[in-house]
Amino acid sequence: MELKYKILKGLDVSGFAVFDPVVRLAYGEEPQKQIRAIGKFIIVPVIFILVCFALTDWIAPKHKTKSGQVPDTATIRKSAKINHLIAKREGIKTVDFLREGADREKTLLEVQALIAEKVAIVDELKAELKIQEEAYKSQLDAKLKPIQSKYDALKAKYKEASNARKAQSKALATQVYNKQVEPSELVALLKESDAQTEAERAELDILKNQLDEKRSEKYEPLELARSNVDSEADALMFLKTREQLLTSRNRSVKVAEAVEKKQGIADSFETATSESKVLNAAKGLVRQELSIERLESQKYAPAATIYLYIQRSVFTVIVGFLLAVIIGIPLGILCGLNKVFMACMTPIIAIFKPVSPVVWLLIFQIIVGAFFPNPDTHPLFVAASNIPWVQTLGVNPAMVFSACTVAMCALWPSLVNTALGVCSLDPDHVNVARVLRLNFWERLTKIIIPSALPLIFAGLRISMGVGWMVLIAAEALSSSDGLGKFVWDEYQNGSSLTFANIMFACFVIGIIGFILDRVMIVLQRIVSFDDSGASV
Amino acid sequence: MSFLEMKNVSLGFGPYDNRTEVLKDINLSVKENEFVAIIGFSGAGKSTLISLLAGLTQPDKGQVTIGGKVIKEPSPRLGIMFQNYSLLPWLTVYENIELAVRQALPKLKGKELVEHVERYVGMVSLTPALKKTPAELSGGMRQRASLARTLAMQPEVLLLDEPLSALDALTRANIQDEIIRIWENDKRTVVMITNDVEEALFMADRIIPLTIGPEATLADPFLVEIDRPRNRAEVNNNDTYKKLKLDVTNYLIGLNDETKKSKAKIEIEMPDVQPLDLSKPLSKNVQV
């Protein structure tokens, strides 16, 4: 029973009170009431979401844009799968690069076996594709033929008619020249003839459009065969890369080669015929040793994947958020404590708060950029490359601008809410502080901050939300590897999955934003002493 | 020999050209270990009076002294118990009291401190609620916690600002008994503000009415010469008690009538204004 109430309390604190009846039902508490609650607040919303998906699937294919068709849910799922697959493959490649000894040889054999298999499959699929192409051509011809022949016939007929009209007008022109007919008659004839030609052309165009339409009609079996070949060929390509990473591009192989070369140079001392050759050999040996050292510490540099983007974005937003907190809360406390300071800060807050994140990004890019003339050797980045997880993210100046932009925009809600929290200190509590004769520091830590904490955390929650929104825009603009850049690159690159990838990123961004917000809600609920609770 | 004294104390609020004198020429002298109740209507300035005694507010004129020394700021010698509990909601009962004790008795450390806090919590029968936050307590329990906090600071003077006004009758009687019991065990000077005649009669040695504000001042005291310990059931049949209750009540009613009479004199002259009739066009005579 203890556990039940702990779970219920946990759900309440984390803002998942909607699952309350599920837990109660599991404990057999008033089943009918719980089932009714589940029906109303879980099943109905789930059905609603499913209806939304169904509507999307119905409406999306009806809208074709320049960047392709609006993706339905299946396409978005496919995009998610592909992004996951890419990430998984990069992981495998990273491991392959480092394999050595028997492990490498064993894996190499496995990969080669897989390649042989894949080649067979791809060949088969290519043959199938050829068949489908033939089939497509023949069915297309069958469809085109009647229209084509009609078109050809009509075209020939109109050509003849047009020639006849030309001859007629020529004849009339001769008559006009001989003053047998008024020129106006010729003009009228030409006008009529032009109109006729125009009408005929329009008629031909209709048929031509029909032909084009038929040609651009998708032939499902062919599309399927093509995408099968594409995906299998892609897999084959991946396996071939693996093979390379296990052989010529493998670290241990490269190291072994270098060691062998070094040995060769060392041996050449004995056969050296002159002083200068000895010197050259010694120089070569030094170089070779250095390159072996470098090779030994080398790692595979995987291509950026969606998971790296997610990690970088979350890391950047947290850094930016912490910067905002470190600046915003002390300033907010000062504002709340001192009316003069508040009066000084008010114009600054009022003017800078509404400035667009894009402007801040550009400003930071210029200002912060000046601090990193040589990012590779800058102590900040050197330090970042030595912290466990952080080093895998690749901290770079673009990330710093983005974090600064996040901080600048997330600063205000924290600052303003903290100031408000400190200002609205209960006069009774002030009296308590006076009666207890607390000094300034004790007042601050024992009365002012605890009493302002609920509002401070409400501000932090808003800051986090603002920060996450700003970050995505900042990344798109600053090209800091992250979800924002992912979206921007997709928009720029334009592949068949562009639109689906953007929609997929939309869901990823939303879900991460939701999780961040929930974390903030939990923190807020933990520190609030009044049972006010947080709105969802 | 008076211990706590107010001499010709006046206090007003508002800007200098429109100042409202809340208290005027207050003279009060409380003997050591005496229990004085100040009784008055709400809005008379009772809480202002206790703020003056606690040193939270400084008078415009006159002075407040304790043992001959002028009170310039709050001090641990003056323990005030606020009307609305004023417990810190983010701390537990224990932590609330501990914070106060640390400030008032900095010499207590470690185990002594814990024992000291627990003793006072036990004194107000709150031991089971030691680790609870104020939000989890009932009104009466909060009031007791507030009392324990004030007592634990071991002040020389106990200033109680309507300590029981927010409680129901039963809890009220209960805490009255508790305050009396604690006071009898550990005598000290008490000034209690109240608006309840029976409460004042039951608890105090002396009752001083506060006249109705603005310009409220202290009236002549009523001495409560009833032997202690006073029994709640018996006291109702005590002749002195009955007579005093009648006297104090009549005095207070008289005060109220006086004010009403004095207020009745004020007549506000209404301006002679007729409302506009907006249904008709106004611009009959207007030349366009």
| A434 contact B CB<8A | yes
Q: Is A390 helix (H, G, I), strand (E, B) or coil?
A: helix
CATH fold for domain A306-527: MetI-like fold (1.10.3720)
Dihedral (Cα; A22, A26, A32, A36), 10-degree rounding: 10
Placement of tokens 């690749």 in the chain: A394
A526 to chain B: closest CA residue: B90
Enumerate helices (H) and strands (E) in chain B, giving the number of each: 8, 10
Q: Nearest 5 degrees, angle CA A248-CA A254-CA A259?
A: 140
pLDDT value at residue B277: 66
Q: In this complex, do A530 and B88 lie within 8 Å of one another by their Cβ atoms?
A: no
Please judge whether A431 and B84 are an interchain contact, meaning their C-beta atoms are less than 8 angstroms apart: no
Residue A473 pLDDT class (50, 70, 90 cuts): very high
B56 and chain A in contact, CB less than 8 A: yes
Question: Residue A375 — very low, low, confident or very high, per pLDDT cuts 50/70/90?
Answer: confident
pLDDT, mean of residues A220-230: 88
pLDDT at A534 over 60: no
Q: Report the pLDDT value the prediction gives residue A414, as an integer from 0 to 100.
A: 95
Nearest neighbour of A529 by CB, restricted to B73, B75, B135: B135
pLDDT at A412 over 60: yes
* pLDDT at res. B280: 54
Instruction: Check CB contact under 8 Å for B90 and A529.
Output: yes
Count of A-B CB contacts under 8 Å: 47
Residue with tokens 């667009």: A356
Of A289-293, A431-435, B277-281, the poorest mean pLDDT is in B277-281
Quick check: A179 pLDDT over 80?
yes
pLDDT more than 90, % of chain A? 49
Q: Answer yes or no: are the C-beta atoms of B19 and B12 closer than 8 Å.
A: yes
Segment A114-124, tens digit of pLDDT = 999 999 999 99
Structure tokens at B235: 């006291």
Give the pair of three-digit tokens for residue A144. Answer: 């085109």
Q: Which residue of A has its CA nearest to B100?
A: A436
pLDDT bracket for residue A332 (50, 70, 90): very high
Beta bridge partners of B207: B37, B222
Residues of chain A in contact with residue B91, where contact means CB-CB under 8 angstroms, are 450
Q: What is the pLDDT of residue A532?
A: 46
Instruction: Write down the pLDDT at residue B264.
Output: 52
**Structure confidence at residue A56 (pLDDT):** 92
Q: Which of B30, B37, B22 is nearest to B161 (CA)?
A: B37
The pair phi, psi for residue A419, each rounded to 5°, is -60, -45
Residue with the larger pLDDT of the pair A215 and B286 = A215
What the block records as the tokens of A226 is 């093509």
Regions of chain B with pLDDT less than 70: 1, 213, 259-268, 276-288
Phi, psi of B65 (to 5 degrees): -130, 150
Backbone phi and psi for residue A272, each to the nearest 5 degrees, phi listed first: -60, 140
Whole-number pLDDT of residue A530: 62
Say which of B54, B84, B88 has its CB closest to residue A435.
B54
- Residues A529, B74: C-beta atoms closer than 8 Å: no
| Per-residue tokens: B177 | 């008994």
Facing residues of B38 across strands? B193, B208
The answer to whether the CB atoms of B75 and A437 lie below 8 A apart is yes
Secondary structure class of A31 (helix, strand, coil): helix
d(CA B3, CA B64): 11
Count Cα atoms within 13 angstroms, Cβ side, for A381. Answer: 16
3-class secondary-structure state, position A163: helix
Structure-token match 């961040």, residue found: A516
- Number of Cβ atoms within 10 Å of the Cβ of B177: 15
CA distance A429 to chain B (A): 6
Using CB atoms, pick whichever of B74, B88, B91 lies closest to residue A437. Answer: B74
Residue to test with chain A: of B92, B103, B133, most A Cβ within 10 A = B103
Residue at token pair 């052309």: A201
Q: pTM for this one?
A: 0.79
Residue A479 and residue A483: Cα distance in Å, rounded? 10
Helix (H, G, I), strand (E, B) or coil at B55: coil
What percent of chain A stands above pLDDT 70? 98
For B99, which residue in chain A has the nearest alpha carbon?
A436
Please state the domain extents for chain B: 2-77+155-264
Query: Does A427 touch chain B if contact means CB atoms closer than 8 Å?
Result: no
The H or E element containing residue B146 is helix B139-152
Structure token pair of residue A106: 């064993």
Comparing CB atoms, the residue among A428, A529, A531 nearest residue B82 is: A428
Yes or no: say if B55 and B78 are a contact pair by the CB < 8 Å rule.
yes
Span A465-482, average pLDDT: 93
The residue among B86, B160, B162 with the most chain A CBs within 10 A of its CB, best to mutate, is: B86
B73 vs A451: CB contact, 8 Å cut-off? no
User: What residues of A are in contact with residue B75 (Cβ under 8 Å)?
Assistant: 437
Q: Which pLDDT score is estimated for B268?
A: 67
| The pair of three-digit structure tokens given for residue B96, joined into one six-digit string | 């609330």
Name the residue with tokens 């960047």. Answer: A67
- The verdict on A438 touching B (C-beta cutoff 8 Å) is yes
3-state SS, residue B212: coil
Is B76 within 8 Å of chain A by CB? Answer: yes
Range 448-477 of A in CB contact (< 8 A) with B: 450-451, 453
Burial class (CB in 10 A: 0-12, 13-18, 19+), B49: buried
Residue A446 with chain B: CB contacts under 8 Å: 88, 99
Q: Which helix (H) or strand (E) holds A401?
A: helix A397-423
Residue type, A355: V
Nearest one of B132, B42, B146 to A435, comparing CA atoms: B146
CATH class of B2-77+155-264: alpha beta
A110: left (phi over 0), alpha (psi -120 to 50) or beta: alpha
Cβ separation of B54 and A429 shorter than 8 Å?
no
Whether B128 and chain A come into contact, CB under 8 Å, resolves to no
Quick one: average pLDDT of A262-291?
85
The confidence score (pLDDT) of residue B133 equals 87
First to last CA, chain B: 86
Which of the four pLDDT bands, split at 50, 70 and 90, describes residue A264? confident
